[in-house]
Chains A and B, each alone.
Chain A
């Protein structure tokens, strides 16, 4: 089946709208609930995408193989690039680093730059933390996608994201024993 293509800006807009809807309208009082909802949407998307992208390929024999699939084929399908760096402690924790995470490249405020340019203006500090917060809100969706995909592949796990230097972003996968 030929993959149908979707305009990237459409996807970007949709994600931005989804995040803002949950954060500002549905669950404005409870950011954890908003995060949970967004993650749940990502989870279902990941579940369904993994179903599609693992078609026609042999079953994975171990966790590493599945994680590699996420890093390579799955990521390529989603973002037209692979994960740049994969680290593991061999005890169930994997760190997937994308040096230029597509959904963060359009973020207007880059905390590292503001850090460099501005001194101790408190208003800047708050906007900065706000932007970091909203960026982290945007990361619940991809975290959910990874968790959904891995869970569907039989690997229950917890996924968190770290974006200390945008637009690089690393996803930490902890496999539940």
Chain B
């Protein structure tokens, strides 16, 4: 499109000429140019220069007559109307200095009277006179005031008048020409076309796009009729002219359609245009001109599309139209047209090459003449025509060309251009556009063609790079025929670039492609159609195979066209190829390695099957194979018996194991299966890494080993309908075989004993003895790992505890590891690893020789009764040679129960025969918690019960009630009944122990903390363990938190006083003491029931009043009538105020009656009291 002249590319712009007053020209021009639509100005300083304007051609009559016009469109006509043929001529005059203008053809005239200020008087008469002289309508006689205040207005006036007049002018011109067409006064098609063209251009001047389009189309159709009719020019040039004009018309039509938004119409139009003209190839010698022309059509349309930002229709109505017209979405994409432009330009290049080769073979003198420049060919006045320019003396003369001369000229012109670069640029453009659209296949095709073009001009590295990208896609999608062609180019590129390795790789790839068809005869132009390797066929594959192997054996020298060096494979230039699972060379050599077992003992042997497959068309002889493992000492070599070992063993491979195979020849698509025994002493995994195949003196392939179980199908070949066999004979192995084998550890020859007896008890430091005994291995660098895991899986740390590392937060905890004698292990050396955490420990084990043993004790403490799994593992080296040996591991585990040692319970009670009135008990407040109530400042009794829940006897060491740490000060006084324990009592399993405490609450509170019972105890074990450590001797502590109690004021205390025993028939007195602790008068009712065992005196029923803060004593005299344990008469005391009744308990109301005075010494009173207390407790 850039080649088109400006006047063709852009829509026409009105031209106005202004004459006179040069000082105003720039102001007016600038203003008019910025008008919408813009107006160009042709400014002339005065009327003497008016001849610049185009004049009427004098031969006009001649032209319009029946005489043949010389051509269709004149080349400079458009330019003339753009630059030299104004629609309006404006004369800028001072009123007094006017003279008649020599008027242009039909141009409109405007007279502009220039005034310096508005105030300049212009007399009416003079204006009229002027108008008459200038023959202009008063409308077109304008005032122009150059004064700054009026300038704007004047310019506006000028602009609108010019626009109006220009419009009229172009309309009239159009009409005039149109009339000529309608009159049909000519049958010259050329003229009709020219008229139509002019009408369209005039319409364009007026921005009447519809009319413009109509007449351009008209011109185009008329032009179409000319083909084969016109005989004005010699045939070749005739066609050239028609095509050139058609191109211009088509361009105009397409532009108008596209800019008018009629995308589909534009597409359809363009398609018709191409269909119509594509067949008009023309004379064979200048076919290249035709293809160049076609290419330009596509290029121009592509550029138009690109600049008008067309989108694919997406409304249904548009879609249906699109379908109807047979359009597809790709035609809305400039890439499509760029690609075709490139394609036809390539066609042009090919045709031109043919023509050039012919013309070079037979040079003609005429060509010399044209090339020597004595005659030169120039474009003639008509579009699409050329003429010869002669220099005759001092004048130039033009003369029409003959077709033969024209051909020579065209060829000479054609030679001057390097089309390839243009072709590459076009393909690149569409390549990039397709890539942006993610149309990778179309992009690949463009890349492919681009690469071929690079190849043609000898830019092999660019070509190779592009071809490689294209080959990847074809390889991925299995388009073998396309891949063959690309690989053929790549092979040739590598040869030209002197890259032997690439050449070998591409050759092998080609040879291994799945192509089995046998080729017919090669057509003569096969290179053009199939690339450098010709059509794909089995025989081609075979010959490529043979060629590359000859090269690799050094028997053949490849000539590089670069001439720098010939390609040869020899000792100092060997070829190594690497093949991994994603390499395209996998079809050349595939190595599958499968161990027959998955796990094997160290030193035991397992079979290994190595299977090799090649798709090369000819058998391949392998000199030897080397199998490499991750454990290099397992590597081995396979040779065939024909080969001597001498050339195999070289340098550092001296000590490798060598196996032989009956033959080492790979046949097409046939597995070469080799099975050998493998043995490894090293535990861990043994993995086959790669297989190195030596295929000749200078050629090796390193092929990554693949497991049959995870092997992908062969690329390309997987789509082929050919026989597929399994890499191993055993189908199970083919499905599950792995190239890795697990070598187990040695069996440990060590005893690891965890000696635990019975369950652990909560609170104690539980010792677990661990013994390591060597039974065959030495233990070097031994490490003992200890792990504690909750057997129920709940975790050993209580989540509730806030402090993460407090000791109590661990339910079970590894405290320490003790030495064999129960003492703390001393740090004996720098390598003595010791690390103890709450549930994990790591201890080093000293060197043990065969037969020796070592032991330690794990000290574990339970805070909660929880079962725990104890894992102990020992890792060691069987010998002190650290580098060589591998660690052996022994694992032991044991579940240990944690049990509560002592179950502690408690209860509160009142002192014997003394009962304070606790209102809480009498009248419980509904809803309040049933905590125990104690009387304020009254003694209460606490009984603590401890039962041995274990299976072993426990020795109690001490028992006490400790105040809780958080209590400030003592809220109650606790006294241990009977002092400290007389001796440390032994509790057999299930036995209970009781301890009595007296409590006197000293604060009056709702809730009072009493404290925690601390029981210190230890296991009472046999004599042998008497020696055990001080930790055990210190004993364990079990705690029991006593609940908070409610302390109450007591209004009344009733106590019963009577002797513990009496003698039959002897009278005694019994008192009921009622203490009033309040400041109120208390009314107390009491009653006394009769009893058969006693005779009693005193009132039976009465109401008494007890004074505040005093006590009232009721006394009864009793005489026992029966011996033994007897119930005293029932006394019932009722407080009226609190409506609470009281009866002493049965125990309290029981006395023992001796039949006669017993003959033993009575103990002192204190003992008696205590005995009564104990008695009380046992009864309750």
Contact with B along A2-43 (1 / 0, CB 8 A): 000000000000000000000000000010010010000000
Residues of B within 8 A of A36 (CB): 735
* B694-726 near A? 1/0 per residue, CB < 8 Å: 000000000000000000000000000000000
Chain A residues lying within 8 Å of B732, measured Cβ to Cβ, are 30, 33
Closest to A30 in B: B732
Contacts of B735 in A (CB 8 A): 33, 36
Which bucket holds chain B's interface residue count? under 10
CB distance from B819 to the nearest CB of A (A): 54
Minimum CB–CB distance for A151 against chain B, Å:
16
- CA of A150 to CA of B731, assembled, Å: 27
Rounded to whole angstroms, the CA-CA distance of A30 and B733 in the bound complex is 12
Report Cα–Cα, A33/B735, bound state, in Å: 9
Looking at the assembled complex, report how far the CB atom of B683 sits from the nearest CB atom of chain A, in whole angstroms.
29
Q: Which residues of the other chain, B, contact A30 by a CB distance below 8 angstroms?
A: 732
The contact string, 1 if C-beta is below 8 Å from chain A, for chain B 730-771, is: 011001000000000000000000000000000000000000
**CB of B405, distance to nearest CB on chain A (Å):** 63
For window 206-258 of B, CB contacts with A under 8 Å fall at none
Complex CA distance for A36 and B709, rounded to whole angstroms: 14
Q: How far is the CA of A36 from the CA of B731 in the complex (A)?
A: 12
With a cutoff of 8 Å between Cβ atoms, the chain B residues found around residue A33 in the complex are 731-732, 735
Closest to B731 in A: A33
CA distance A42 to B735 in the complex (A): 18
Give the Cβ gap from A36 to chain B, nearest Cβ, in Å.
Answer: 7
- Docked Cα-Cα span, A33 to B732, in Å, equals 7
Look across to chain B and name the residue whose beta carbon is closest to the beta carbon of A29.
B732
- How long is the Cα–Cα vector from A33 to B726 in the complex, in angstroms? 15
- How near does chain B come to A96, taking the closest CB pair, in angstroms? 28
**Interchain CA distance A80-B1098 in the complex, whole Å:** 109
**Min CB distance, A170 to chain B, in Å?**
28
Which A residues touch B731, using CB under 8 A? Answer: 33
CA separation between A30 and B735, bound complex, in Å?
13
Q: How large is the interface on A (under 10, 10 to 19, 20 to 34, 35 or more residues)?
A: under 10
Closest B residue to A37 by beta carbon equals B731
- Please report the C-alpha to C-alpha distance between residue A33 and residue B730 in the assembled complex, in whole angstroms: 12
A164–B539 Cα gap in the complex (Å)? 61
**B845-873, CB under 8 A of A: which get 1 and which 0?**
00000000000000000000000000000
A141 to B732, CA, bound (A): 20
Q: Considering only CB atoms, which chain B residue lies closest to A33 in the complex?
A: B732
- Tell me the residues in window 35-73 of chain A with beta carbons closer than 8 Å to chain B beta carbons: 36
Q: State in angstroms the CA–CA spacing of A36 and B735 once bound together.
A: 10
Rounded to whole angstroms, the CA-CA distance of A30 and B736 in the bound complex is: 13
A112 to B735 alpha-carbon distance, docked (Å): 37
Query: Which parts of B28-54 form the interface with A (CB within 8 Å)?
Result: none
- Bound-complex Cα distance A36 to B732 (A): 11
The CA of A166 and the CA of B799, in the complex, are separated in Å by: 49
Shortest Cβ distance from residue B726 to the other chain A in the assembled complex, whole angstroms:
13
Q: How far is the CA of A13 from the CA of B1027 in the complex (A)?
A: 82
A57 to B1149, CA, bound (A): 104
Q: Which of B60-81 contact A (CB under 8 A)?
A: none
CB of A136, distance to nearest CB on chain B (Å): 20
Q: How far is the CA of A30 from the CA of B730 in the complex (A)?
A: 12
Q: How far is the CB of A119 from chain B (nearest CB, A)?
A: 36
Q: How far is the CB of B1036 from chain A (nearest CB, A)?
A: 51
A37 to B735, CA, bound (A): 11
CA distance A30 to B732 in the complex (A): 9
- Cα A30 to Cα B731 in complex, Å, equals 11
Contact with A along B557-577 (1 / 0, CB 8 A): 000000000000000000000
Chain B proximity of A75: nearest CB distance (Å): 31
Whole-angstrom distance between the Cβ of B776 and the nearest chain A Cβ = 38
Query: How many whole Å from A83's CB to the nearest CB in chain B?
Result: 32
* Complex Cα gap A92–B735 (Å): 28
> How far in angstroms is the closest Cβ of chain A from B97?
85
A82 to chain B, nearest CB (A): 36
CB B710 to nearest CB in A, in angstroms, measures: 16
B1 → chain A closest CB, angstroms: 43
Q: How far is the CB of B538 from chain A (nearest CB, A)?
A: 30
- Cβ of B679 to closest chain A Cβ, rounded Å: 27
Q: For chain A residues 130-177, which have a beta carbon within 8 Å of chain B?
A: none
Bound Cα distance A33, B736 (Å): 10
A67 to chain B, nearest CB (A): 28
Give chain B nearest CB distance to A156 CB in angstroms: 16
Q: How far is the CB of B329 from chain A (nearest CB, A)?
A: 19
How far, in whole Å, are A30 and B734 apart by their CA atoms in the complex? 14
Report how far A128 CA is from B731 CA in the complex, Å.
31
In the bound complex, what is the Cα–Cα distance between A82 and B732 (angstroms)? Answer: 37
**A35, chain B: closest CB distance, angstroms:** 12
Bitwise, A96-128 to B at CB < 8 A (1) or not (0) is: 000000000000000000000000000000000
* B808 CB → nearest A CB, Å: 46
How distant is B734 from chain A, measured CB to nearest CB, in Å?
11
Q: How far is the CB of B396 from chain A (nearest CB, A)?
A: 72
Closest to A26 in B: B731
Q: Which of B1137-1165 contact A (CB under 8 A)?
A: none
Q: How far apart are the CA atoms of A37 and B146 in the complex, in Å?
A: 102
- Nearest-neighbour CB distance to chain A for B737, whole angstroms, equals 13
Please measure, in the bound complex, the distance between the C-alpha atom of A23 and the C-alpha atom of B732, giving whole angstroms. 15
In the bound complex, what is the Cα–Cα distance between A3 and B939 (angstroms)?
104
- Taking the nearest CB of chain A, how far is it from the CB of B704, in angstroms? 27
CB distance from B724 to the nearest CB of A (A): 14
CA distance A86 to B934 in the complex (A): 71
Residues facing A in B1098-1126 (CB within 8 A) are: none
In the assembled complex, the CB of B9 is this many whole angstroms from the nearest CB of chain A, namely 47
CB distance from A50 to the nearest CB of B (A): 20
- The answer for the CA separation of A85 and B732 in the assembled complex, in Å, is 37
Shortest beta-carbon distance from A47 to chain B in Å: 15
Q: How far is the CA of A34 from the CA of B806 in the complex (A)?
A: 60
Closest CB in chain A relative to B596 CB, distance in Å: 15
Query: Bound state CA distance, A116 and B176, in angstroms?
Result: 110
Rounded to whole Å, the gap between the CB of A57 and the closest CB of chain B is 23
Shortest Cβ distance from residue B1011 to the other chain A in the assembled complex, whole angstroms: 59
5 A-B pairs with CB atoms under 8 Å apart are A30-B732, A33-B731, A33-B732, A33-B735, A36-B735
Q: Which residues of B contact A (CB under 8 A)?
A: 731-732, 735
5 A-B pairs with the lowest CB-CB distances in the bound complex, closest first: A33-B732, A30-B732, A33-B731, A33-B735, A36-B735
